[in-house]
Structure 1
């Protein structure tokens, strides 16, 4: 079995994982709002042309791969905030080598108005 070690130097980006939640506004109405779930260090990789075409068979809109340390509870219903950029999680995160060490998250960049 291969030994996989995380190179912590790769995790140079601070991201915030957000989840959609219902929050009451000033009128007492429940509205959908993105709330912070977790702040964590991550490695963000834009997909190269080769990776993009390989991913096209699964999902043609994947633009980035984001690696984080393994954490339970991350789902494809969440999104990732990196500075003023947002990434939609396109598929359930992959538990790399099923070893509970690293999560690989395939995303597509989305643009939202402030």
Structure 2
């Protein structure tokens, strides 16, 4: 089963936090590295999913679906390019059929 491309109507920027060091002072500063921009589907949790998430003391409020991509880690953040909303992923769940077609990403809105 494939992910229908028509569902992927949101542009998402994937960013990773990085520490940079000032060459003059040696001070460390936080910055972000843009990993890429992809099309995805941002979906609020349904009432049933929200109740299930709350029962496990989770703050998950949305899920993002995107085509499979390697190298993603929970310390990254996903940003809706149109609205600027920042989503912090709780993990990356591969599709249940092949494990390499799409990812479901439960997220907390920052």
TM-score (norm 1): 0.83
Cα deviation per residue 1:56-88 (whole Å; 9 max; x = unaligned)? 344520000000100001111111011311001
Gaps in structure 2 of 5+ consecutive residues: none
Question: CA RMSD, aligned part only?
Answer: 1.7
CA distance in 1, matches of 2:11, 2:60: 21
CA contact (8 A) 1:45 1:66 kept: yes
Aligned residues: 106
Cα distance change on mapping 1:45 and 1:17 into 2, 3 Å: same
With a CA cutoff of 8 Å and minimum separation of 6, indicate the structure with the bigger relative contact order.
2
User: In structure 2, what is the equivalent of residue 21 of structure 1?
Assistant: 18
| Comparing 60-69 and 97-106, the one that deviates more | 97-106
